[in-house]
Structure 1
Amino acid sequence: MNKLAGAFGVAIVMMTGCTPRIEVAAPKEPITINMNVKIEHDIHIKADKDVEALLKTRSDLF
């Protein structure tokens, strides 16, 4: 019984020495995000010929 307890104690000590260690640390340099973005849009609207004629004759609609 005494040998079993000693072997068990040694096994516990050895297993605690081999536990993996995970470390999370912040980076020393700050994180930089470059946002130099140029966005261009071209919007083309096609209208029916009847609608175009209506808009030309009735400019007070808008």
Structure 2
Amino acid sequence: MKSRTHDDFMAEQINADPHYAAELLSEVRRNGDAAELAILLRQMSRAFRQVEGWSLSEKARNRRR
């Protein structure tokens, strides 16, 4: 069985359930520290790179229009 990193696992979970991702981000922002937030943002970045044609910067640009 091939092993995978925790970041890979979390990216898959975030990708599979955006509601979970939003709730987790809210919880970490409310109760986590800066290091925990940085880890989650890294995992979310990895998750969103897996979605064809989508990026955090693109989402932000579209919101400003």
Same fold? TM cut 0.5: no
Q: Which one scores higher on RCO, CA 8 angstroms, separation ≥ 6? A: 2
Return the index of the structure with the highest Cα Rg.
1
